[in-house]
Structure 1
């Protein structure tokens, strides 16, 4: 009897160990410790736990998407949150990457509604007749333009879009202007203090930094020519976006621009089983991700599979295919 009981106990222990080994236990490289991406990490962890209480997704703060792609390329993290535009640069081996990254596979899209905004002080816009970003170069206005810090994809996108509209740094300097690199909240402060004339960034509509600018400075939201939108989407794998009229106090009409999105990316080292469990957890328990912040309320199964810059991991693709979301 003692031998039989011991055998049963050992059998249960082995079974429990196997179940634990089969549970998700992964790291997710994100961004700032207190930012939206950290909230997404917590939501993803809850989503997989809803199917398996032993599952764990551990969020790791990093320098952001570019850093996460470097970690993925070296197989030093299980998953990473990255912008679609960053993935496109990584796949092509463009700066800041020295060679194409070839081991990336998508798990799911988290959002695609972070549009590029171009706010200009209203008095300058009226003085120089500027209502679109393609008016800036020919206007001769000596603008001090805020763009995000080096290493943030929105700074790359802003510089690209302005250059496509005729305003490269040489032209801006010749007009007596300059670029000032500053983060989102810093740009709000700089604009309120009159230290920059224009703010650019690609984040959610009415983000706190945009609200601060809109509420404390007389600004207009510049339009973006369609050819600039098209060229940007081609270069960065992004998508067209409409900022609805009335989003800001002096913006009566819709403004067409483009938007960045963020996605969860793994590598070809992840097993099909683990990718399947991740995708299944995200899909079945999507409310756990949606509920992390009001900005995520628009997430739905169709958006989860809507990225186009990267093949889905075979395990994730199986889940989405069986759900009728992809072919």
Structure 2
């Protein structure tokens, strides 16, 4: 009995010393956190809520996703500390860091740091099969083009891209499903999508009326990439029944972001939860197939959070010190 009591006392002593150490390790952690996503029904909302809940469960914290206005607002929310984490595309991130975020012009949002790569958002153009539009240079002057929701990544960058390529157009905005209906009814000439593929509106149009998926030429692709923070992309042939071969396009990377002043150990552990088991992330959303270590280099300008950078560098990345916040 004495032996048992002694063992119990030793165990209690060990537990008593371990608990303060754990408390000390997490002493500067927030008790809860929020991930800024976007509107309901989109990829950001599903993906963001998924990884927020995963991190909360694994780390024993209260956390979840929050509806927001998307990439630009998310940069602002994380920069000001209104949310701990967020999600952004690299174009809005670049503009925000440079002080060109339309939410707060002139404010350099440098307190938002890179956390991990998410996935690519391809840019694609769709026209009706009977329109005669088969390439960018066959889009007629004054074409009515739908660019998606006002202020979205598509609405921000696609008009600039087409202007660069010499296209003259009338700008229209709306939800993707609504724009698809307008295209089918002859109220639009094309739709310029920046969205995960397959785009449901395009798949529906294929069944109902038939479409042309417009690819960029090599020269057009190169000009666009030189002017904007975009990467080369091919829309796989099996994405749409219309395609007989992969379609040349461009895409913008999406990254998770974290407040640069969040505790290093907290962001390290949150990054580890997301990045250590890709199958678990893919179960949350198929787009997470690109949420892998190898894609860390798709961020070429945003400072990394020290905690995220430490995890990546321990797992095969080579993030230089001058790209780490405070480094």
TM over 0.5: yes
Gapped regions of structure 1 (runs ≥ 5): 173-177
Deviation (angstroms), 1:298: 4.4
2:94 is paired with a residue whose SS is helix
1:57 is paired with a residue whose SS is strand
Inter-CA distance 298–66: structure 2 relative to 1 (3 Å threshold): closer
Retained in 2: the 8 A contact 1:108–1:265? yes
Deviation (angstroms), 1:179: 2.1
Number of aligned residues? 305
- Matched residue, 2:155: 155
Retained in 2: the 8 A contact 1:41–1:57? no
Inter-CA distance 233–55: structure 2 relative to 1 (3 Å threshold): farther
- Matched residue, 2:274: 282
Higher relative contact order (CA 8 A, sep 6+): 1
Gapped regions of structure 2 (runs ≥ 5): 1-8, 320-327
- The structure 1 residue matched to 2:33, chosen from 2, 15, 26, is 26
Whole-Å separation in 2 of the counterparts to 1:303 and 1:62:
26
- Matched residue, 1:75: 81
Retained in 2: the 8 A contact 1:72–1:79? yes
1:291 is paired with a residue whose SS is helix
Deviation (angstroms), 1:77: 1.7
Deviation (angstroms), 1:83: 1.0
1:266 is paired with a residue whose SS is strand
Q: Which runs of 4+ in 1 moved over 6 A?
A: 7-16
Match runs of 1:197-236 below 5 Å: 197-236=189-228
- Matched residue, 2:97: 91
Retained in 2: the 8 A contact 1:47–1:286? no
2:239 is paired with a residue whose SS is coil
Whole-Å separation in 1 of the counterparts to 2:312 and 2:157:
31
Retained in 2: the 8 A contact 1:44–1:288? no
Whole-Å separation in 1 of the counterparts to 2:100 and 2:24:
43
- Matched residue, 2:129: 122
Whole-Å separation in 1 of the counterparts to 2:22 and 2:236:
53
Higher deviation after alignment, 238-247 or 60-69: 238-247
Match runs of 1:1-327 below 5 Å: 21=27, 25-49=32-56, 51-52=58-59, 54-94=60-100, 96=102, 97-99=104-106, 100-112=108-120, 114-125=121-132, 130-136=133-139, 139-140=140-141, 142-167=142-167, 171-172=168-169, 178-303=170-295, 306-327=298-319
Whole-Å separation in 1 of the counterparts to 2:181 and 2:38:
22
Inter-CA distance 235–77: structure 2 relative to 1 (3 Å threshold): farther
Cα RMSD of the aligned pairs, angstroms, is 2.8
Q: How far does the alpha carbon of each residue in 1:97-121 deviate from its partner, in whole angstroms, 9 at most, with x for none?
A: 5123222210001112x21110112
Retained in 1: the 8 A contact 2:278–2:288? no
Whole-Å separation in 2 of the counterparts to 1:27 and 1:21:
19
Inter-CA distance 179–298: structure 2 relative to 1 (3 Å threshold): same
Whole-Å separation in 1 of the counterparts to 2:242 and 2:292:
31
Q: How far does the alpha carbon of each residue in 1:176-232 deviate from its partner, in whole angstroms, 9 at most, with x for none?
A: xx2221121211222222221211111122121221122222221112133443343
Retained in 2: the 8 A contact 1:108–1:305? no
Whole-Å separation in 2 of the counterparts to 1:216 and 1:102:
47
- Matched residue, 1:175: none
Deviation (angstroms), 1:21: 4.3
Higher deviation after alignment, 219-228 or 19-28: 19-28
Whole-Å separation in 2 of the counterparts to 1:44 and 1:37:
11
